[in-house]
Each structure stands twice: as C-alpha cells, then as structure tokens.
C-alpha cells in the first residue's frame, strides 16, 4: 500500500504543470487569473460532470464491437481554395471547408476546424490533453465537426448533447520528420501574435491522422476550452502519430498568446487542460484489449516493474520482521530449543542463539513437550504466512 501511495505521488509530481503568467487582454487562460480552476466561475459548463479531456485507464475501458471505423469524408479532396490559419491566443487553428465531414457515427458530421494543443518542455514533458494510463503524449490534434443532420451550424450544435464529434490524435516525438505536419508548422512564424491569420495552401488533412482509424476510444465529453459545452462525441485514436523533435520545438516556441501591439510578449505554451473526472462515464473501445499493449512504453514498464519489486521487497521485509519478533517473543516466554534451522535465523546469523547441547535420555519427556510447542508454532506460521506478491493496482 505504501508503494502504491508513493507511486501516485511520483506520478503527481511528474505531471505537475509549470505556471506561466497570463496576459490581461485575453478573457481566459490555462494558468493565471482566469486559469483552468476558475473557468467554471465564468463558464458554468466547465464545472459539469462530463468534461474533457480524461485519462483513459485502459483496464477500465469496455470493448464495444458495434464501434465501426470512423471515415473521414473529403479530407483528401482539399481543392484549390487556401485554408485559413489563425492564432486566436489559445491555439493555432485551421478552418476546414464544409465539404469535409465524418462518417461512421450515427449521424453525418461536417468539419469545422482543427487545432493543436502542446506543452513547453520538449519531448516527454506533457502537452496532450488526453492521457493514457496517466501518461501524456507530447501534443494533440483535434479535428472538430458538428452534427449537420440535426443542426444548421456549429453555434447551434455546440450546445446540444449530440451536437459535435471531435477526433483526438495523440502526437509523440521521434526521429523522423512528419511532412504532413509541416503543412501547418511551416506557417506558424507568420501568425506569431494573437489575432493574426493568414492563408496557407490547402493540403491533405487525412495525412495528419494515424493510418489505423479502426482502433479508437469513444466517450461522451466536452469542449476542452471554455465554454466547455458537454456536446462532444469523442474519438481518440489508439495509434499515435509521430513528429520530429524539431517540429515539436516549433510548435512549442513560435507562437505568442499576446497580441502584436502588446509590450509583454507571452509565449503560447502549455495550452492543454488537465484531465477531468470520468464520474459515471464509461470509455468504450472499438478494439478488444490486447494484454498490456497500451502499457508497452518503456517508462510505464519501468515504473510498473519498479513498483512490483518494491512491493515484493516490502512484503519480504515485513514478513521477516514479523517472524523475528514472534521468535523473540517465544524466546522470552520460554526457552525454546532451536534444533532445526529456520529461515529467520539463517538470514540473521549474528543473532542465532548458541546451539544447545544435545538433550540426554532423562530429559526425553521435556523435549517432547517442547517439540510439540515448536511444531505448533511453525504450523501457525504457515497459516499466517503472507502471500509473497501482494495485490497491487497496475
């Protein structure tokens, strides 16, 4: 139990966010005066019970065989009309043409925009909004759609339970450059300040998504920024996409959350919301659990193995101490003849009592009685022996 507590503490410290001051002009921010914990005072939905993002605990997800692959519609037919890339002080987003949509859901959804969330500390220092088993990715792409079968536009749909569908793509850092992401990253230097927008060449939006669109997590949640409406059917892909360290660095260091005419320049960093309580919700998976696949990251494995070793070690020590104490108590109560070796004495040779001389014939009766005492204590020990590997929550 102590190891489990320590494990949680280590995780908490590991994911503690670094605070950055917030500019006054922008009504809400991630840290500062109207930071995440204050959002609900100004935007009531942010204090709701079905908020996003969430931590996906893979052992607590539920396989739903009816979840078919999501199908991007027209993502690759971008046409000749340029996209608009916009720095709104919270993120960089691209408005999407209305012929792009999403299938594979109970209704047809129309694409609206896509945007990114990132951190500030480079690879393996957080940045994604959703986490898997407590672990962040380095960044996250969101492609936002509204239910165009039931609602006339985004603003009408965003307040409705079944109004929005958002694709979540976890982004990690690796060796290779991801050319698809350069379609966005190469232009960030031209929208460095909040409120700036430019036209960029249209590109294949599907190339930003992972290849496997059939394996995903599905749950009911919210917008991850104010007004946090609980109107989103979330699809978080199991497969993550990879960008290079240089690409991540661009994302993290080029943009400002402050406007061009503001004297105090504020870097636009750590624009991700903390994970929210799942409450009554269930996260469904479109794929059946393959044991430990989600836990395959080196770090998680190392932590889990470390905790296991710690628990086993602790159990061994506790068992040893209990046994030793019990023996000393017995020794105190009556003189016990130790004529058979026990593990306790073996590991504590300096405390081993001097062997008693072999008992002679006349004392046979007494020896018998003591033998019985010994055997009954070892019997009791066997029963009370703690299991060598105590149950731990992975």
Ligand X SMILES: *[C@@H]1O[C@H](CO)[C@@H](O)[C@H](O)[C@H]1NC(C)=O
Q: Which residues are catalytic?
A: 90
- Candidates 19, 33, 156, 348; binder of ligand X (CB under 6 A) is 156
C-alpha span between 275 and 12 (Å, rounded): 12
Minimum distance between the CB of residue 277 and ligand X, rounded to whole angstroms?
15
| Helix/strand/coil percentages in the chain, nearest 5 | 30, 20, 50
Please, what is the Cα angle at 127 between 124 and 132, to 5 degrees? 75
Question: What tokens were used for 171?
Answer: 């982004």
Closer to ligand X by CB, 76 or 155: give it: 155
Query: Which residues lie closer than 8 Å to 289 by C-beta, 6 or more apart?
Result: 58, 59, 61, 63
State yes or no: residue 218 binds ligand X (CB under 6 A). Answer: yes
- Candidates 31, 220, 242, 244; binder of ligand X (CB under 6 A) is 220
Closer to ligand X by CB, 77 or 155: give it: 155
C-alpha span between 355 and 337 (Å, rounded): 8
State yes or no: residue 219 binds ligand X (CB under 6 A). Answer: yes
C-alpha span between 69 and 66 (Å, rounded): 10
Q: Give the H or E element holding residue 241.
A: strand 241-244
Per CB under 6 A, which region of 122-130, 212-220, 340-348, 383-391 contacts ligand X?
A: 212-220
Minimum distance between the CB of residue 103 and ligand X, rounded to whole angstroms?
17
Per CB under 6 A, which region of 140-148, 213-221, 307-315, 322-330 contacts ligand X?
A: 213-221
Strand-strand pairing, 135-136 and 55-56: unpaired
Question: What tokens were used for 57?
Answer: 């605990």
Closer to ligand X by CB, 93 or 219: give it: 219
State yes or no: residue 33 binds ligand X (CB under 6 A). Answer: no
State yes or no: residue 120 binds ligand X (CB under 6 A). Answer: no
State yes or no: residue 37 binds ligand X (CB under 6 A). Answer: no
State yes or no: residue 159 binds ligand X (CB under 6 A). Answer: no
Judged by CB under 6 A, the chain residues 278 through 307 that form the site for ligand X are 282, 284
Per CB under 6 A, which region of 148-156, 193-201, 241-249, 376-384 contacts ligand X?
A: 148-156
Q: Cβ distance 146 to 108 under 8 Å?
A: no
Sign of CA dihedral 374, 375, 379, 380: negative
Closer to ligand X by CB, 187 or 219: give it: 219
Q: Please give the residue ranges that form the binding site for ligand X (CB under 6 A).
A: 152-153, 155-156, 218-220, 282, 284
């Amino acid at each position: 139990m102590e190891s489990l507590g320590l494990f949680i503490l280590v995780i908490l410290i590991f994911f503690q966010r670094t605070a950055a001051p917030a500019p006054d002009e922008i009504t809400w921010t991630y840290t500062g005066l109207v930071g995440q914990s204050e959002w609900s005072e100004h935007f009531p939905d942010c204090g709701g019970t079905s908020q996003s993002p969430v931590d996906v605990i893979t052992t607590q997800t539920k396989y739903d065989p009816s979840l078919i692959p999501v199908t991007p519609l027209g993502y690759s037919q971008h046409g000749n009309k340029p996209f608009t890339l916009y720095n709104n002080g919270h993120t960089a987003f691209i408005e999407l043409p209305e012929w792009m949509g999403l299938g594979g859901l109970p209704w047809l959804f129309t694409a609206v925009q896509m945007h990114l969330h990132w951190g500030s500390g480079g690879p393996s220092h957080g940045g994604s909004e959703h986490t898997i088993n407590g672990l962040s990715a380095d960044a996250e792409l969101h492609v936002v759609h509204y239910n165009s079968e039931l609602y006339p536009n985004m603003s009408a749909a965003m307040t409705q339970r079944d109004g929005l569908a958002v694709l979540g793509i976890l982004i990690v850092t690796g060796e290779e450059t991801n050319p698809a992401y350069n379609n966005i990253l190469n232009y960030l230097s031209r929208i460095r300040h909040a409120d700036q927008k430019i036209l960029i060449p249209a590109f294949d939006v599907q190339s930003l998504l992972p290849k496997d669109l059939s394996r995903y997590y599905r749950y009911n949640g919210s917008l991850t920024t104010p007004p946090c409406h609980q109107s989103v059917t979330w699809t978080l892909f199991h497969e993550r996409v990879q960008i290079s360290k240089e690409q991540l660095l661009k994302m993290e260091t080029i943009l400002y959350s402050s406007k061009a005419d503001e004297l105090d320049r504020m870097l636009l960093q750590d624009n991700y919301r903390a994970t929210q309580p799942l409450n009554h919700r269930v996260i469904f998976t479109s794929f059946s659990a393959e044991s430990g696949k989600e836990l395959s990251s080196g770090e998680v494995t190392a932590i889990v193995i470390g905790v296991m070793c710690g628990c086993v070690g602790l159990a061994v020590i506790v068992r040893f101490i209990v046994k030793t104490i019990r023996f000393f108590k017995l020794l105190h109560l009556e003189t016990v003849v130790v004529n058979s070796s026990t593990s306790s004495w073996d590991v504590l040779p300096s405390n081993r009592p001097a062997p008693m001389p072999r008992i002679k014939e006349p004392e046979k009766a007494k020896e018998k009685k003591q033998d019985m005492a010994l055997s009954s204590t070892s019997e009791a020990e066997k029963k009370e022996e703690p299991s060598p590997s105590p149950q731990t929550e992975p």
